[in-house]
Structure 1
């Protein structure tokens, strides 16, 4: 990151907690606070926007609420990037190698590409990618 700031990638399971009053929403807020204080840089693949819409829709959010959530993400200025072809190819490999969804594999390939830690709230995913050292449960985050 700029000025040696730690770059972190958050998957949708963590980002969604900024909008859902559920277990771990306090920890999700810790990432946001660190980001606002300039301690970390949050970078994510553009897939996060579509996954977030899906999660919020299934949680019963209205159209207006979903659009507002997307605006909040934009307003924070998190770095949201498109995947290059090589990273998309790596996504396919990771998906097959670890028997995980292409969606989950996207975040892993992206984090690997940018050289950042990936934080997730998804314990099933963590169990499948135990040997991938740069993927951690979001509760393990320390500023």
Structure 2
């Protein structure tokens, strides 16, 4: 089981550095090799980035979000304990609540958080759950 943040999942839709690696994680998930968990906030974040990228129509953004539901990724609504941890992390680490929600969920589940956000990873790299996408070894 892994938590993916929006910086990884967006690479499924937008060609960027490490998009191939992000899609390899998706392919391993589809094969049933592991479970992907995300906070429900991810849906808003992905939709917003796709919209403002200028490369996607309303229909394409809707299809992208629908595809995430179709994949049956575990989408978790934020629980009070996760929200409390999110707030604590955002203050302690100087990160946005938007970024902290992914880490709080990973900590609650005690699973890796995979992010492609290098600046974020530098701020939270002392937390054992954080894995940078470019360094993440996809299990064979």
Q: Say yes or no: does 1:52 pair with 2:56.
A: no
Please tell me whether residue 67 in structure 1 is matched to residue 62 in structure 2.
yes
Instruction: Structure 2 unaligned segments of length 5 or more: list them.
Output: none
1:71 deviates by: 0.9
1:42-121 superposed matches below 5 A? 42-60=36-54, 61-121=56-116
Aligned residues: 137
Distance in 2 separating the partners of 1:142 and 1:64 = 32
In the alignment, structure 1 residue 39 sits paired with structure 2 residue 25: no
**Structure 1, unaligned stretches of length 5 or more?**
1-6
Partner of 1:40: helix, strand, or coil? Answer: coil
**Counterpart in 2 of 1:3?**
none
Aligned structure 1 segments of 4 or more residues deviating by more than 3 angstroms? none
* RMSD of aligned residue pairs (Cα, Å): 0.8
TM-score by length of 2: 0.95
> Is the Cα–Cα contact under 8 Å of residues 114 and 131 in structure 2 kept in the other structure?
yes
Give the whole-Å Cα distance in 1 for the aligned partners of 2:10 and 2:125.
23
Give the TM-score taking structure 1 as reference length: 0.93
* Aligned CA distance change for structure 1 residues 106 and 65 (closer, same or farther; 3 Å): same
